[in-house]
Amino acid sequence: MTGGAIDTGATEQLSRVLGAMIRELRTSRGIKQAQAAKLAGVSVSAYSKWEEGKRRPLQDNLERLCIALDCEEWLFRKMMSLTSESQFRIEIGTWPPRITDEDIEVIEELPFPALYRKLPEYDIIYSNEAMLKYFPMFAPAPLDSPQPANMIERMLTDYRARTIFVDWYTVAHRMVYMMRLWSRGVSPERHAEIMEACNRVPEFDFMWNNNPPAESFATNRLIARYPADNSVHYFTLRSWFPNYPPGEAEILAAPRSPSAQAQGKA
C-alpha cells in the first residue's frame, strides 16, 4: 500500500459501491434491469449507469425502487446515505491516516468501546482504551507499518475473535457480506491484500459467496466475553460520521446494553 497516496476519484469509488448495492438488491429479487428501471421511474440506460457506478440515482428514484422491491431497512438507509457526498469523506488508499489530538481526546472520553475506521476498506485508524479492553484484536497497526489493520481481516484471522464473540460466525458473515458490497470502492491493491489474508480462513469462501440469513440483520446487539474473566457482556453497535468539525473516518461504537444484560439475552 502506498503511504500517503490519495485517490482523487473517491466520489467515483463511492458511486461504484452504491451501484454494487443496487445490483445486489435487484438480483436478489430475480428481476431484469428493464423491470428495475420501470419500478424506479427511469430509462434502462440511466438505470444501467447506476449499477455500473457511472451515475448516482436521485434519492426519489432510488426510494421508489427500494419500496417496490421491499428493500431491507438497513440496506435502504445505507444506500440512501451514499447518494449524498457530504456523508462520506473518504481518501482511498491513505496511510498513515490524518488524525488529530482532538480526535483522540473525543474518542477516549467515550466510556464504551469505540474506534475510528476508514470506509470502504474497514481499516482501523484508532481504538480507544475501552475497545482494546474488550476487543483487543481491533488494535490499530503502528503508524510505521506498511499497511493498516483491517477489521474484517482481524475478525477472521485473530483467534481471540472466535473466543470473545459468542455469536462469532453470525457477526463475521455479516462483516464479510458488507465487505463484498463495498469491495468495488476499494483500491485493487488493498482489496487483494485483504482477500489474501481472509482466504486462509476455511469459512471465508462460503461467507464471501453466500448471503447471510436475513435475520442476522434484525439486530445490532453483540454478545461478547470479557477477555479478563470470560464474563458475558452485551453491546449495541452504532456508527456515525463526525458532522462538526467534519471528519474523514467513521466512528464505530459499541455501548453496553443494560436491558439485554438484565434479561440475559441479545
Q: What is the 3-state secondary structure of the chain? A: CCCCCCCCCHHHHHHHHHHHHHHHHHHHCCCCHHHHHHHHCCCHHHHHHHHHCCCCCCHHHHHHHHHHCCCCHHHHHHHHHHCCHHHCCCCCCCCCCCCCHHHHHHHHHCCCCEEEEECCCCEEEEECHHHHHHCHHHCCCCCCCCCCEEHHHHHHHCHHHHHHECCHHHHHHHHHHHHHHHHHHCCHHHHHHHHHHHCCCCCHHHHHHCCCCHHHHCCCEEEEECCCCCCEEEEECEEECCCCCCCCCEEEECCECHHHHHHCCC
> Given this model, what pLDDT does residue 7 score?
37
> Given this model, what pLDDT does residue 9 score?
47
> Given this model, what pLDDT does residue 184 score?
75
> Given this model, what pLDDT does residue 3 score?
32
Q: State the greatest distance between any 2 C-alpha atoms of the chain, in Å, as a whole number.
A: 59
> Given this model, what pLDDT does residue 135 score?
97
> Given this model, what pLDDT does residue 50 score?
93
Q: Residues in the chain with pLDDT < 50?
A: 1-9, 86-93, 265-266
Q: How many residues does the chain have?
A: 266
What's the pLDDT tens digit per position in 192-223? 999 999 999 999 999 999 989 888 888 889 99
Q: Is the peptide bond before 255 cis (omega within 30 degrees of 0)?
A: no
Output the pTM of the full model: 0.76
> Given this model, what pLDDT does residue 98 score?
73
> Given this model, what pLDDT does residue 249 score?
74
